[in-house]
């Protein structure tokens, strides 16, 4: 290296000029990031050249994947705000890749090797199916129906949109559309990955359009998986309830302010049903980059009935009334009709959506 000795600085001076401590400089040198331009072999003193800071800056930016045009812009106008933008960029990129890998992981189970397929056939692992009836109604007060539902024999879902017109409607319909496309794995992981894919899609869409700011949705979804289980994933305050042997059990936990108060022992379930903040959600799909999802497996057998519904049902129709419909209706269709009719008769203050799914083998 041809360097004139007079443009070289000892480590102390270079440290002062660069703002990097001598210790940091030694660490960088050790990993080959910013090596001294010269070392006096006799004394071991290190010397740096003035242009090294700029060269190191360029290297660091290139190592971070910053394109050359942007590197040039940073050099012309050095500012740490420009780096903040890139930090956010890198974070968003990493999140997207994580999400895609989660989805890939859940799809792996479905691709399966031929050997696995044989084992499955030998073991006669049968998938339960769902026989369903679904209804949704705008109610008697609202101007739009912001609820959406999905009703297939391998997955059912209810989404209750929020964020006002047009956001709420878009959020809930996007949620069920993405869910339908993304849920192919037939496992709890696959279901959760599909909910996360919906979260991402809604969040990204809201960023594109100021009118859609703050849109989000509840999402309560379930699908039968092998081994006589339902995989259930829930965000928000739509509910999945099990009807078995004449007893109704809520399977999901509501993510609302009132439900939190009940869990903390500060409110009874009966008080929560009339609490002014019962509709305030503590979690929703699409309002943030990531979402916390409750996912679990529920053992079921043929003959079980599961009701998935939006709060427009249970805020209007008491559990006893729901159970009385279950025991008197002649079939699923009639039960679904009756539940919606009761919600409307009792006030119809909100959109109401009901999916009744009977488990069959």
192 sits near Mn ion (criterion: CB under 5 A):
no
- What are the distances in angstroms from CA 136 to CA 7, 181, 213, 282, 308? 78, 21, 25, 24, 12
Q: Which residues, including other chains, have CB under 8 Å from residue 240's CB and lie 6 or more apart?
A: 220, 222, 232, 234, 250, 251, 252, 306, 307, 308
Nearer to Mn ion, 200 or 342 (CB): 342
160 sits near Mn ion (criterion: CB under 5 A):
yes
Residue 270 in contact with residue 337, Cβ under 8 Å?
A: no
137 sits near Mn ion (criterion: CB under 5 A):
no
Q: How far is the CB of 350 from Mn ion (least distance, A)?
A: 4
Among the listed ranges 122-130, 253-261, 318-326, 344-352, the one in contact with Mn ion (CB under 5 A) is 344-352
Among the listed ranges 70-78, 149-157, 259-267, 307-315, the one in contact with Mn ion (CB under 5 A) is 307-315
253-263 per-residue burial string, b: 16 or more CB within 10 A, e: under 16 = ebbbbbbbbbe
Q: DSSP letters along 11-39, please?
A: HHHHHHHH---HHHHHHHHHTTSS--SEE
Q: How far is the CB of 205 from Mn ion (least distance, A)?
A: 21
Nearer to Mn ion, 132 or 217 (CB): 217
Binding residue (CB under 5 A) for Mn ion from 311, 316, 338, 358: 311
- What are the distances in angstroms from CA 114 to CA 102, 118, 126, 171? 23, 6, 17, 39
254 sits near Mn ion (criterion: CB under 5 A):
no
237 sits near Mn ion (criterion: CB under 5 A):
no
Please give the structure tokens belonging to residue 89. 């960029």
Q: Which of residues 1-60 bind Mn ion (CB under 5 A)?
A: none
Binding residue (CB under 5 A) for Mn ion from 350, 353, 355, 357: 350
- Respond yes or no on whether the N-terminal peptide bond of residue 147 is cis (omega within 30° of 0): no
Q: How far is the CB of 33 from Mn ion (least distance, A)?
A: 55
316 sits near Mn ion (criterion: CB under 5 A):
no
Nearer to Mn ion, 160 or 192 (CB): 160
Please give the structure tokens belonging to residue 176. 């069920």
Q: How far is the CB of 352 from Mn ion (least distance, A)?
A: 8
Among the listed ranges 108-116, 132-140, 176-184, 345-353, the one in contact with Mn ion (CB under 5 A) is 345-353
Residues of this chain that bind Mn ion (CB under 5 A):
160, 310-312, 350
């Amino acid at each position: 290296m041809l360097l004139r000795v007079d443009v070289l600085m000892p480590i102390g001076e270079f440290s002062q000029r660069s703002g990097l401590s001598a210790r940091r400089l030694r660490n960088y040198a050790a990993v080959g990031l910013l090596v001294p331009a010269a070392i006096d072999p006799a004394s071991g003193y290190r010397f740096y050249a003035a242009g090294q800071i700029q060269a190191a800056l360029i290297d660091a930016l290139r190592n971070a994947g910053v394109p050359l045009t942007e590197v040039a812009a940073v050099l012309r106008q050095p500012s740490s705000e420009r780096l903040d933008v890139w930090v956010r960029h890198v974070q968003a990129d990493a999140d997207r890749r994580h999400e895609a890998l989660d989805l890939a992981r859940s799809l792996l189970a479905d691709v399966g090797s031929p050997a696995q397929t044989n084992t499955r056939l030998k073991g006669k692992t049968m998938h339960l199916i769902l026989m369903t009836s679904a209804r949704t109604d705008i109610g008697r007060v609202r101007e739009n129906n912001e609820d959406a539902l999905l009703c297939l024999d391998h997955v059912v879902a209810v989404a209750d949109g929020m964020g006002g017109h047009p956001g709420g409607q878009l959020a809930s319909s996007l949620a069920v559309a993405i869910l339908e496309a993304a849920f192919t794995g037939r496992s709890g992981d696959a279901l959760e990955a599909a909910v996360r894919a919906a979260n991402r899609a809604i969040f990204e869409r809201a960023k594109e359009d100021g009118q859609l700011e703050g849109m989000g949705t509840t999402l309560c979804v379930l699908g039968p998986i092998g081994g006589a289980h339902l995989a259930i994933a829930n965000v928000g305050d739509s509910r999945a309830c099990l009807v078995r042997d004449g007893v109704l059990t809520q399977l999901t936990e509501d993510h609302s302010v009132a439900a939190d108060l009940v869990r903390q022992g500060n409110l009874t379930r009966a008080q929560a049903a009339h609490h002014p903040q019962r509709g305030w959600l503590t979690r929703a799909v699409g309002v943030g980059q990531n979402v916390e999802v409750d996912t679990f497996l529920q053992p079921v057998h043929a003959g079980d009935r599961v009701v998935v519904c939006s709060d427009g049902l249970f805020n209007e129709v008491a559990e006893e009334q729901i159970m009385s419909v279950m025991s008197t209706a002649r079939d699923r269709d009639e039960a679904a009709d009756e539940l919606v009719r009761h919600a409307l008769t009792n006030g119809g203050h909100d959109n109401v959506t009901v999916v009744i799914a009977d488990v069959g083998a």
